[in-house]
Amino acid sequence: MANLGSNDQRVLTTLKKSNKPLSAYDILDRTRSAALKAPVQVYRALQKLEKRGLVHRVEALNAFVACCDDHHGLHRPGFVVCRDCGVAREFEDKRVARVAEDAAGPDFLIETISLEIYGRCAPCRAAA
């Protein structure tokens, strides 16, 4: 598979600099001066990055985060997301795969698992 192109790297760098998930259009805004001019370029980069496990999509936010763990390669993380401050913390738990297999049954071929937990983080609760 081809290496990362310059668009891909710009998108990845942008995500790594953010402590929150960014939408494709957030990324576009932050890279427009650099080189990216249209949504499709961002989406193409995101797709490539996601295939390699460098970026994850947070479904319920329509947004993307850089994987917090560079060495891992592809994996199936979950996310804990604060609705107030928007921070998304990636985690893994082996029990998730077992739950998924039990739910899907032996003849279902699992391709992806999305587990997202929403609520209020401790600092935000204290502040409120």
Partner DNA sequence: GTTGCCTTCGTTATGATATAACATTACGGT
Partner DNA sequence: ACCGTAATGTTATATCATAACGAAGGCAAC
- Applying CB under 5 A, the residues found at the interface with Zn ion are 67, 77, 82, 84-85, 121, 124
Pairing verdict, β 88-91 and 78-82: antiparallel
- Least Å distance, CB 30 to DNA, is 13
Contact call for residue 51 and DNA (CB under 7 A):
no
Q: How far, CA to CA in Å, does 124 sit from each of 45, 58, 79, 86?
A: 33, 20, 17, 10
Q: Is 78 in the site for its own copies (CB under 8 A)?
A: yes
Q: Is 18 in the site for DNA (CB under 7 A)?
A: no
d(CA 64, CA 62): 7
**Buried-exposed string 100-111: b where 16+ CB fall within 10 A, e elsewhere:** eeeeeeeeeeee
Site string for its own copies, 20-59 (x = CB under 8 A): ---------------------------------------x
Residues engaged in binding its own copies (CB under 8 A) = 59-60, 78, 80, 82-83, 91, 93, 95-96, 98-100, 102-105, 107-122, 125
